[in-house]
Structure 1
Amino acid sequence: MLIKLLIFAICGWALFKLITNDSRKKAEKKEKKMEKQVATGDMVKDPVCGAYVSLDQEIRIRDGEQIHRFCSYECRDKYLTQLEKNGREIPAESKEEA
């Protein structure tokens, strides 16, 4: 009885290690993919929260020649509010939305 319990515990521990190692490898692979996209310029950093967003992100505004991309409308609105507090305003036609 004790040997069966010991074998069951060892099998459970081995299965747990296999599952957690697999999820760790997937997370590392996803992180490497994102780093590659950032390095090649396919992703840019959200100026408000620091999240990385794709160049084809639909939430963006144009500030002169520069285009800012945002992860959410909330971040975009925070950015615009911050500009207004600093005495700047982006014209309505420069606010690009899809």
Structure 2
Amino acid sequence: MLTGKQKSFLRSKAHHLDPIFQVGKSGVNENMIKQIADALEARELFKVSILQNCEEDKSVVAEQLAEGTGADIVQIIGNTIVLYKESVEKKTIKLP
């Protein structure tokens, strides 16, 4: 679980990032969760965009992704979710 200070730090790091994944009409599936988990191991922090045609609520999508990958939700702003998970091998972000 992240503290408020850590979330603020990660939000500032994620500000300039572009979304890597998009959740569309089909919603969240096992293949998407596996790809996001692999990307989290490589990058630790990134954004996921939720498309207009996604039928599920953005908070539900964020919870599904966080539970499936073991990541923390840093922020949900608009249709964008920021996820963070500490990498085992490629640790680059030092939390305050």
- TM-score bin, normalised by smaller chain: under 0.3
- Which of structures 1 and 2 has the bigger CA Rg? 1
Return the structure number with greater strand share: 2
TM-score (norm 1): 0.26
More contact order relative to length (CA 8 Å, sep ≥ 6): 2
Return the structure number with greater helix share: 1
TM-score (norm 2): 0.26
